[in-house]
Structure 1
Amino acid sequence: MHPMLTIAVRAARAAGQTIMRAYTELDRIEVSTKGVNDYVTNVDKEAEAAITYQIRKSYPDHTIIGEESGENAGTNKDFMWVIDPLDGTSNFIKGIPHFSVSIALQYKGKTEVAVVYDPVREELFSAVRGKGAKLNDFRVRVGDANETTHGIIATGFPFKARQHTETYFNMLAEVFNNCADVRRTGSAALDLAYVAAGRFDGMFEIGLKPWDILAGDLICREAGATVTDFVGGHNYVQTGNIVAGSPKITISLVKTLRPLLSEALKR
Structure 2
Amino acid sequence: MPLPPDALATARACADVARAAVLPHFRRGVTVDDKSDESPVTLADRSAEQAIRDILSTRHPRHGVLGEEFGRSGMTEGEWCWVVDPIDGTRSFITGRPSFTTLIALLHEGRPVLGVIDQPVTGERWIGVEGEATRYEAGCLPLPAPVVRTRPCPDLAEAELSCTSPDMLAPPSDRRFSGLKHAARRTSWGGDAYAYGLLALGQIDLIAECSMKPWDWAALVPVVTGAGGVITDWAGDPLRLDSDGTVLACGDPAMLHAAVRALSPTETIG
Q: Same fold (TM over 0.5)?
A: yes
Tell me by how many angstroms 1:145 deviates: 0.8
Instruction: Report how far residue 177 of structure 1 moved.
Output: 2.6
The residue identity in structure 1 corresponding to 2:153 is A
1:256 aligns with 2:257: no
Choose the corresponding residue for 1:212, options 211, 216, 226: 216
Gaps of 5+ in 2: 138-144
For structure 1, the 5+ residue unaligned runs are: 263-267
Residues 1-267 of structure 1: matches in 2 within 5 Å? 3-25=6-28, 27=29, 29-73=30-74, 77-136=78-137, 138-157=146-165, 159=167, 165-187=170-192, 189-235=193-239, 237=241, 238-245=243-250, 246-260=252-266
Contact 1:190 1:216 in 2 (8 A): no
Q: In structure 2, how many angstroms separate the alpha carbons of the residues matched to 1:8 and 1:69?
A: 18
AA aligned to 2:6 is P
Residue 3 of structure 1 and its aligned partner are, at CA, apart by 2.2
Task: Give the structure 1 partner of residue 142 of structure 2.
Answer: none
TM-score of the superposed pair, with normalisation by structure 2: 0.86
Query: Partner amino acid for 1:6?
Result: A
Instruction: Tell me if the contact between 1:167 and 1:261 (Cα under 8 Å) persists in the aligned partners.
Output: no
- What is the Cα deviation at residue 119 of structure 1? 1.1
* 1:52-87 CA-partner distances (Å, limit 9, x unpaired): 122223212221111000012159932210000000
Counterpart amino acid of residue 99 in structure 1: F
The structure in which a higher percent of residues are helix is: 1
Residue 193 to residue 84, structure 1, CA distance change in 2 (3 Å): same
Letter of the 1:208 counterpart: M
CA contact (8 A) 1:101 1:116 kept: yes
**Displacement, 1:98?**
1.1
Aligned residues of 1:105 and 1:114 also touching (Cα < 8 A): yes
Question: How many corresponding residue pairs?
Answer: 256
Q: Is the 8 A contact 2:77 2:109 kept in 1?
A: no
Q: Provide the rounded CA distance (Å) in 1 between the counterparts of 2:32 and 2:266.
A: 37
Equivalent-residue separation in structure 1 for 2:25 and 2:136 (angstroms) = 25
**What amino acid maps onto 1:254 in structure 2?**
V
**Closer/same/farther in 2, CA of residues 153 and 81 from structure 1, 3 Å limit:** same
Letter in 1 for 2:167: F
Q: 1:53 to 1:36 in 2, by over 3 A?
A: closer
- Percent of pairs identical after alignment? 26
Aligned equivalents of 2:177, 2:227: Cα separation in 1? 25
Aligned 8 A contact 2:261 2:267 in 1: no
Contact 2:67 2:85 in 1 (8 A): yes
